[in-house]
Structure 1
Amino acid sequence: MKANKALHMKKNTKAQVGIGTLIIFIAMVLVAAVAAAVLIQTSGILQQKAQSTGKQSTQEVSSNLMIKNIEGVRAKNTTITSDTIDMLKLQVGLNVGSSPVDVNQVVISITDGTIAHNLVYAGNDKTYSAGKMGNFSDDDASANLKKLLTVSENPTKFYTVDRIRDEDQSFSQSNPVMNTGDLILVYLATTSDDAVGLSHMGSLDTSGTLVTSQLDLVPRTTVNIVLTPESGAATIAEFVTPSSYGVKETVQLYP
């Protein structure tokens, strides 16, 4: 009887099966924990990339700059008025909720259907190998405008600006950064061959004779202007000049 009982006890393997099951269970828990950690890490990385991509996409498709108004000015002297529009004054602001815009990095393209220019801010010393506009003033917008209009090749390379509204006094010639609520004037020289040699642009005495921009904004000219900021969608303005300028020295062109 004792021998039979001992033999019966040796054949009982239930405890071994339980240990094997426990080992398998622990292994499954460890694998699941590792997999969960990998998934959490991967989802975190993907979320960060998605947020970054979304922010960049929003900046690219949003339009920060807004052209509110465009006026054309005709050149003259004491007895003669040009037959063309020789300077454009663009009132430019920011859309609601826009982030600040560095005007120093805004490229303006303008064409009259025959000639096209890509213009940079006159104080930009990085875009052209020649640097910023010669004798550029860090604090005198009027002096910069006169140099734009009277120095050869400047009208084909540069534009200048002046502030209209700048409550926080953050906008300057040397640091032309627009914040929400700011309103500026952008000056584009469009002097034609007909205006070369004249000395006044509207009420502005240029203290020198005007030079050509190679553009020719005669009546019924289709003009296309594109403002391309460093980030965000480009702002486009297209208009046709009036059929006659009459005796007006300043002509409303857009909107």
Structure 2
Amino acid sequence: MFEFITNNEERGQVGIGTLIVFIAMVLVAAIAAGVLINTAGFLQSQAEATGQESTDLVSERIDVSSEVGIVGNADSGELDAIRVSVSGAAGSSQIDLSETTIQAVGPNGQANLVFTDTSANGTDLTSSSAVNASQLNASKFAVQDSSGSFISADSAVLDGEQDYAIVVNPSAQPFGSLDADSVNASDGSYTYAHLSGSEESFGQGDTSSLEIVSPSSATTSVELSAPDLFTEDGEAVRL
């Protein structure tokens, strides 16, 4: 009724086969576990990075409190400076304005504006009180503190305690008609659009749109709209 295996060699072969299958199953399980662990770690890293980017987009946004134009020539209806007052949004961390870009669309095209602390002829804006917005090149913006002094890249940081003004040249593209360089190369003098009959400056009735993009890519939209009539030189008008 019962069959006894008396061949020891055959019994050994069956045991080795079972052991090989068992070891193979353990190896497959170990490899699968390693893949799952690596995948979970990768997904966790991606989720943390995405969460941080989303937080930065919300918390590192630049708030705009006012947009003002300084009249350069009331008779021709042109501005001498455009100032956009900015601060960090509530709860924001430090925002480096020197690493901020402005995507501008104006009456004379569009341009990406970047920070500068140097005038068109190379003068350090922070060391001279004689320079103004009309001496900024096209595709550039500068930053002034609450006293009206231009500041350097190292100081142009919004930290929740200090408000600054972004300043652009309304004579230069895309706001005015002056191109990349507003300096007369022959004698180093400046070309002021509001004093020139052949150039145009952003002025009465003109409109422009700005997209202020912080280093974390948070975007703030600004619409500039000049009044239809200026009354006197040097006055500040709300845009």
Q: Distance in 2 between matches of 1:8 and 1:233?
A: 81
Check conservation: 1:74, 1:81, Cα contact below 8 A.
Answer: no
Structure 2 equivalent of residue 10 of structure 1: 6
TM-score by length of 1: 0.64
Check conservation: 1:219, 1:245, Cα contact below 8 A.
Answer: yes
Q: Note the 1:68-107 alignment, pairs <5 A.
A: 68-75=65-72, 83-107=77-101
CA deviation map 1:122-151 (0-9, x unaligned): 237xxxxxx9861214x44745xx1542x4
Q: Distance in 1 between matches of 2:6 and 2:21?
A: 24
CA drift of 1:59 comes to 4.2
Q: Distance in 2 between matches of 1:132 and 1:247?
A: 27
Percent same amino acid at aligned positions?
Answer: 29
Structure 2 equivalent of residue 41 of structure 1: 38
| AA matched with 1:136 | D
CA drift of 1:17 comes to 5.1
Check conservation: 1:107, 1:228, Cα contact below 8 A.
Answer: yes
Which runs of 5 or more structure 1 residues have no equivalent in the other structure? 1-6, 125-130, 166-170, 193-207
Q: Which protein shows a greater Rg?
A: 1
| Structure 1 residues 189 and 18: CA distance shift in structure 2, 3 A | same
CA drift of 1:35 comes to 1.7
CA drift of 1:32 comes to 1.0
CA drift of 1:18 comes to 5.9
Q: Distance in 1 between matches of 2:44 and 2:200?
A: 50
Q: Distance in 1 between matches of 2:200 and 2:212?
A: 18
How many residues align structurally?
212
CA deviation map 1:26-81 (0-9, x unaligned): 432232123212221232123223433443455467762221111111126xxx76
Structure 1 equivalent of residue 124 of structure 2: 136
TM-score by length of 2: 0.68
CA deviation map 1:99-124 (0-9, x unaligned): 42222222334443234454322237
Q: Secondary structure at the match of 2:122?
A: coil
> Does residue 230 of structure 2 align to residue 251 of structure 1?
no
